[in-house]
Amino acid sequence: MKIVLGVSGGIAAYKAPELVRRLQDVGAEVRVILTPNAARFVSPLSLAAVSKHGVIIDQWGDSERGGVDHIELARWADLLLIAPATANIIAKLAVGIADDALTTYAIAHRAAVMVAPAMNTFMLQHPTVIENVERLRARGIEIVEPDSGLLACGDEGAGRLPDVPVIVERVKARFAARDLEGKRILVTAGPTREAIDPVRYISNRSSGKMGYAIADAAQRRGARVTLISGPTSLATPAGVELTSITTAKEMLDAVMQAAGSSQIVIKAAAVADFTPSAPADQKIKKQADRDEISIAFRKNTDILSELAKLKPRPFIVAFAAETGSLEANAREKLAQKDADLIVANDVSDAAIGFDSDENEVLIIGRDGSQSKVERASKFAVANRILDAVIQRLHG
Ligand code: CTP
């Protein structure tokens, strides 16, 4: 991996030396170009030291050396990664302005481009910024979406440069082998909702992030992915075919319909185990003389067990969300559901539980084999789960 890292002048530029180090850890060679403003946020000397190469800031280069740096570099590079990317550089990339070393290089560059916007939320939401980001995306440039959280300016919202491991994982994915080419994968994600009456339902706290990350990662590795999802607020990953459902029954029907043509089924969804036996067709009203209400529930069909009965059956990955005795419960669930692999996580830990961007899981195979994936972004964990699936499919 030969990467040109372009750093523009946002506060997140301070993460650049760490980004260079972590990219090198995964085997990348990195050359750095700074905009003049970036050089006010991060020391060119530190970047030269970690990258072990001169850092380019001046568009006109070193006149004594001859040669035009940016053309030489463009022959060498496999990827231009711009992180952080300010509103200014995004606008320049969108229209082709080349008025400093980085934007000039961007026009000479021939290989893939990845851009990680980072700025204040209000700036990120400005119509021109939105429009410019979309122009880049339409040109095939990969956008690493900013994270939400507390920003340097004290505001809260989207705009933070994602943590370095998240960016590194995206770069790795870009260079990853397309080892799922030709495979059809069915992924389920999110919660289901079971109606109590026309305005109320029972559901669970699943955000769908793990399943969406798996669908995204599998698609990037060449698979044809169908994602069957309960209600979530997430964007459908590019290239993934989405079927939206609401109830467990709808999920069962959609899964059984799609399963026949899938070689691998990954069931990350948190399916409701029970549904109200007789949902009311009118809104249930309060009654003055009753302080309690009971609702009768009946069991939903276990989708995994139905899948396991198919002949020929797909390779089945189950999930186990547990709040204690993780390994023992997961092993029991694996056997009970007759799955090929189970991915267990402890949802009582807030850092990796529901709605978190990170996860830490135990992957247990039918053959008893077990591996632990330490805490990492859900996208990174998704890739480790897919590694485990591929390893067992071939084994
Ligand atoms: N699952 C399913 N159909 C259901 C319920 C769950 O296919 N009706 C799947 C989930 O998608 C997940 C796995 O079963 O892959 C385990 O879900 P979980 O809720 O942890 O387990 P349950 O079977 O519900 O067991 P329990 O609630 O007793 O922990």
Report pLDDT digits (tens) over 136-182: 999 999 999 999 888 777 888 889 999 999 999 999 988 888 899 99
DSSP secondary structure of 301-334: P-HHHHHHT-SSPPEEEEEEEESS-HHHHHHHHH
Q: Residues 175-202: pLDDT tens digits?
A: 888 899 999 999 999 999 999 999 999 9
State the pLDDT at residue 350. Answer: 80
Domain residue ranges of the chain, discontinuous segments joined by +: 2-175, 184-275+295-394
At the second CATH level, the architecture of 184-275+295-394 is 3-Layer(aba) Sandwich (3.40)
Which strand (E) or helix (H) includes residue 358? strand 358-365
Whether ligand 1 lies within 6 angstroms of the CB of 273 is answered as: yes
Q: Let me know the angle formed at the C-alpha of 386 by 252 and 210, rounded to the nearest 5 degrees.
A: 55
Do 2-175 and 184-275+295-394 agree at the fold level? yes
Q: Let me know the angle formed at the C-alpha of 327 by 324 and 331, rounded to the nearest 5 degrees.
A: 120
Residue closest to 41 by CA, chosen among 17, 5, 70, 60: 17
Distance CA 213, CA 208 (A): 9
Look at the alpha carbons of 209, 7, 39, 48 in this order and tell me if their dihedral is positive or negative: positive
DSSP secondary structure of 74-108: HHH-SEEEEEEE-HHHHHHHHHT---SHHHHHHHH
State the pLDDT at residue 65. Answer: 54
Per-position b or e across 5-32, b if 16+ CB within 10 A of its CB = bbbbbbbbbbbbbebbebbbeeebbbbb
> Which atom of ligand 1 is found nearest the CA of 306?
7
Structure tokens given for 115? 């851009």
This prediction's pTM? 0.83
CA of 230 to the centre of ligand 1 (A): 14
Compute how many other C-beta atoms are within 10 angstroms of the C-beta atom of residue 350.
Answer: 9
Whether ligand 1 lies within 6 angstroms of the CB of 318 is answered as: yes
Whether ligand 1 lies within 6 angstroms of the CB of 320 is answered as: yes
From 188, 266, 271, the mutation candidate for ligand 1 (largest count of ligand atoms within 8 A of CB) is: 271
Give me the CATH code for the 2-175 domain, please.
3.40.50.1950
CB distance 150 to 159 below 8 Å? no
CA of 320 to the centre of ligand 1 (A): 7
From 273, 305, 336, the mutation candidate for ligand 1 (largest count of ligand atoms within 8 A of CB) is: 273
Q: What's the chain's Rg over C-alpha atoms?
A: 24
Written as tens digits, the pLDDT of the chain (395 aa) is 999 999 999 999 999 999 999 999 988 999 999 999 999 999 999 999 999 999 999 876 655 555 557 888 999 999 999 999 999 999 999 999 999 999 999 999 999 999 999 999 999 999 999 999 999 999 999 999 999 888 777 888 889 999 999 999 999 988 888 899 999 999 999 999 999 999 999 999 999 999 999 999 999 999 999 999 999 999 899 899 999 999 999 999 999 999 999 999 999 999 999 999 999 999 999 999 999 999 999 999 999 999 999 999 999 999 999 999 999 999 999 999 999 999 999 988 888 877 888 899 999 999 999 999 999 889 989 999 999 999 998 87
Look at the alpha carbons of 277, 279, 280, 285 in this order and tell me if their dihedral is positive or negative: positive
